[in-house]
Amino acid sequence: MEKLNKLAIELEQTSESLKLQPDPAAVEAFRIEWLGKKGKIAGLYATMKEIDAADRREAGQRMNRLKQNAESVLEQLEQLCVQSQVQQSLQREPLDVTLPVAEHMQLGSHHPVSLMRRRVFEIFHRLGYVVYDGPDIEDDFYNFEALNIGKDHPARDMADTFFLRSHEYVLRTHTSNTQIHGMLGRTPPIKMISAGRCFRVDNDATHSPMFHQVECLAVDRGLSVGHMKGLIETFLSELFGSRVKTRFRSSFFPFVEPGAEVDCECVLCGGAGCRVCGHSGWIEIGGCGMVDPNVFEAVQIDSEEYSGFAFGFGIDRMAMLAFGLPDLRDLFVGDTRLLSQFPDQPYFSH
């Protein structure tokens, strides 16, 4: 009993002194000295057999209490150590989250192609069109076959294609594949818009091997060329302002009939003719037309009941016009000196 009393006092004193300066090494030493296998508490339990049978019960209870006290002291000391370490590191590395950011920090900016795509989506969203996505890697059916571009069709040469895995898959050559994804398994009315990367073996001031297109498709009863032309003109004047002249040129795409190409006046020369527009005064931005009955057949839509129109425009070309860029490929070099110059609202004033 005397030994128990002495140890209880010693535990209290040790605990007080350790709490004054919590230190992980001293706390570990405390654990070993008091609660370790050969520690003071274990030593105390070993003396149990020497105690008179009459006192054993009380002695056992007091030993258990002492052990519990030692365990709770250990827990407190460990918590104090963590707190003191946090305090010390705060003093060593003061962190003031209210300070303004360093002046030399450069903020990123949106890529001109992203700005253009966002603006196009905004316009079509207001017109009630739904945004669809489509894969960059496409199989023959979606990129060619269902779009009425048969195996031996010369249009496959027109689109100089990057083929994958022995011609089974292609890097999509246009976003018109999303027309097929958008129509298959759906019943009109359909009003969709889709944008993304396209790939062709092309390389000059107005052509890049990787470029972006936006595709629009509307299918319903009674849609006509007039609806298509009205929509394209509304869209382009929303985008570029009513000052920019546009024109439609009759053209051929296997998936539309009739088809046309859409040109905008070259902003770099104001229509006078320059190197970028091939001295024509116009820059082609895309193709359009009424959905061909063969395409409707491939997606099981009745062409007797429904008609539709579609167009696919080059987003990079539109960015080129909006920002007055002389070479479209500059957009993909990754030079931040160029890319950081584009404001969020770059469009011509109305």
Binding region for ligand FA5 (CB under 6 A): 174, 176, 200, 202, 207-208, 211, 213, 253, 256, 259, 284-289, 310-312, 314, 316-317, 328
Nearest approach in angstroms of CB 210 to ligand FA5 is 8
Nearest approach in angstroms of CB 257 to ligand FA5 is 10
Nearest to 176, CA basis, from 145, 221, 208, 210: 145
Residue 150 CA from chain centroid, whole number: 35
Nearest approach in angstroms of CB 222 to ligand FA5 is 19
Q: For residues 168 and 140, what is the distance between their CA atoms, to the nearest angstrom?
A: 7
Cβ atoms of 211 and 219 within 8 Å: the answer is: no
Nearest approach in angstroms of CB 158 to ligand FA5 is 7
Nearest approach in angstroms of CB 340 to ligand FA5 is 22
Backbone torsions φ then ψ of 21, nearest 5 degrees: -140, 80
SS3 162: coil
Nearest approach in angstroms of CB 200 to ligand FA5 is 5
Nearer to ligand FA5 by C-beta: 134 or 259? Answer: 259
Nearer to ligand FA5 by C-beta: 40 or 186? Answer: 186
Nearer to ligand FA5 by C-beta: 15 or 173? Answer: 173
Q: For residues 336 and 338, what is the distance between their CA atoms, to the nearest angstrom?
A: 5
How far are the Cα atoms of 69, 124, 163, 185 from residue 315, in angstroms, in the given order?
Answer: 74, 14, 23, 28
Cβ atoms of 205 and 275 within 8 Å: the answer is: yes
Nearest approach in angstroms of CB 300 to ligand FA5 is 20
∠ CA 217-223-224, nearest 5°, is 105
Closest residue to ligand FA5 in the complex (CB): 314
Q: For residues 331 and 339, what is the distance between their CA atoms, to the nearest angstrom?
A: 7
Nearer to ligand FA5 by C-beta: 41 or 198? Answer: 198
Nearer to ligand FA5 by C-beta: 84 or 251? Answer: 251
Q: For residues 318 and 235, what is the distance between their CA atoms, to the nearest angstrom?
A: 12
Nearer to ligand FA5 by C-beta: 174 or 181? Answer: 174
Nearer to ligand FA5 by C-beta: 14 or 246? Answer: 246
